Amino acid sequence: MPNQLPYRVLKDRFANGLRLSTVEAPYLHGATVALYVRAGSRYETVATNGLSHFVEHMLFRGSARFPTSFALNLAIEDRGGTLYAETGRDYSLFQISLPPPEVPAALDILGDLFSNPQFGDIDLERSIILEEILEDLDDRGRNVNVHDLSRAEVWGRHPLGLSIIGPSRNVRRFRPQDVRRHFRHFYGARNMALCVAGRVDRASVRTAARKAFTGLPAGRRVRPMPARARLDGPHFRAVWNDSAQIQVQILFHGVPDWDPGNPALSLLLRLIDDGMSTPLHYRICDQQGLAYSVGASVEPLYDAALVEVDAACAPAKLPDLVSEVLRIVDGFRREPVTSAQLARARRRATGDLEAGFDDLGGLASFHGGGDLFFRPYTHQELLQRLSRVTVDDIRRIARRVFRPERLTVVAVGAVDRAVAGRVRRTLNGFGAS
């Protein structure tokens, strides 16, 4: 990675508390405007679960100057952009990518939307969300979304265990006053971070953003309940579903970005699964045919992380699949990797960091999304952290993370008693000397 980055990041803060990051990347030909909000399922209760997602949908219904969803989207699309939004556990995102000369117009539209939302057509939007929920239900109305079920098992009663979309019973009873109350609580300037990235300059972005968001109330910075890892595993949950394949997730509590062990964890994940020659794909798919595809990833939260192995397999293969995944990760606890393996993982990580220079959304997320919680690392800092990782660090973080008390397995599909029993025996034997 070059010592001098091809872009630069400039920070501003307005009188109402809104933080602005301008990522000047003159080598790119587009621009993106991204607004990050501390609003999501981890800020909710059982009674309010799904309200952050509901508010996200309702914001598409228009603003004072663009009073319908058609008017709002036409104003954006007429300028070559598309409004994209998503709700997660830690934050919500609203983003428009469009030609650089249209950035002031995009900021103006977003400023009006968040200063003067209409929140109209609530019953119509409710029906759309209820249709969305149906995608996660079986023919008996039970949630069979393995992602939701695994998070509920991993986090227990903590809000991180709630689903993002919420249960249909909540969605049916949300009223306009609930939406407005939630919006007022979370959508203040102090609880937001704005990022503009691409072929833009700080002066014009700052002027347009200050004008667009001057009417946004300051509000207050919301602090969620700290993450509490369940360290009493292993846990196993099987949910019956009549399907040809079993969806399975094997999860371990990891370490967050700011933890000293995080760089080693990121390289460890590449050693496990970063191409068809790494052991997860090679042994599970190529050598044993236990699944068509399998992948490992990290779900980062600002104060926690989950290491996740995700796969689908025939019901009879589930015990062998779980057993082989645990053998793979256990191998990194027991045997050191070679210097050549570590160097390869580091090269690929460096290449991905450099490829991120060309990704507008990635640049916005890297520098704007991180501002919601703490000062984000620069690319140079990330490279320095990776460069310091040793073979011993890899083994140390494997021993720290891949432990039975940090392990949860959730399977959705035709899991009979015999298959479930074999999986439980495998989990109970994991980590034995």
65-100 pLDDT, tens per residue?
999 999 999 999 999 999 999 999 999 999 999 999
Contacts of 197 (CB under 8 A, 6+ apart): 7, 22, 23, 25, 31, 32, 34, 360, 363, 364, 367, 368
Angstrom distance (rounded) from CA 362 to CA 330: 33
245 contact partners, CB below 8 Å, separation of at least 6: 312, 313, 314, 315, 413
**Any residues with CB less than 8 A from the CB of 376 and at least 6 apart, and which?**
366, 367, 369, 370
Would you state the structure tokens that stand for residue 77, as one six-digit string? 């699309």
Q: Using one digit for the tens of pLDDT, what is the confidence trace for 162-217?
A: 999 999 999 999 999 999 999 999 999 999 999 999 999 999 999 999 999 999 99
Angle (deg, nearest 10), helices 176-186 and 51-59? 90
Q: 232: which 2 tokens?
A: 């009493």
**Position 1 confidence tier, pLDDT thresholds 50, 70, 90:** very low
Q: Is 219 left (phi over 0), alpha (psi -120 to 50) or beta?
A: left
Write down the pLDDT at residue 230. 87
- Residue 160: the pLDDT is 97
pLDDT tens per residue across span 253-263: 999 999 999 99
Structure confidence at residue 432 as a pLDDT band (50, 70, 90): low
pLDDT digits (tens, 9 = 90+) for 371-426: 888 888 888 899 999 999 999 999 999 999 999 999 999 999 999 999 999 999 99
- Main-chain dihedrals φ then ψ at residue 306, nearest 5 degrees: -120, 125
Average pLDDT estimate for 334-357: 95
Asked whether the predicted pLDDT for residue 433 surpasses 70, the reply is no
State how far Cα 55 lies from the chain centre: 19
**Terminal alpha carbon distance of the chain:** 41
pLDDT tens-digit map of 211-255:
999 999 999 999 989 998 889 999 999 999 988 999 999 999 999
More confident residue, 155 or 374: 155
> Is 90 exceeded by the pLDDT of residue 431?
no
| pLDDT given at position 51 | 98
Mean pLDDT of 21-46: 97
pLDDT of residue 271: 98
The pLDDT, as a whole number, for residue 374 is: 82
Average pLDDT of 112-126?
96
**What confidence category does residue 3 fall into, taking pLDDT thresholds of 50, 70 and 90?**
low
pLDDT tops 90 at residue 114: yes
Evaluate the omega torsion of the peptide bond into residue 256 and state whether it is cis, within 30 degrees of 0: no
pLDDT above 80: residue 21: yes
Structure tokens at 244: 């040809």
Kindly report, residue by residue over 291-344, the tens digit of the pLDDT.
999 999 999 998 999 999 999 999 999 999 999 999 999 999 999 999 999 999
Q: Are 161 and 154 in contact (CB under 8 A)?
A: yes
Please, are residues 406 and 253 in contact by the beta-carbon 8 Å criterion? yes
Question: pTM of the full predicted structure?
Answer: 0.94
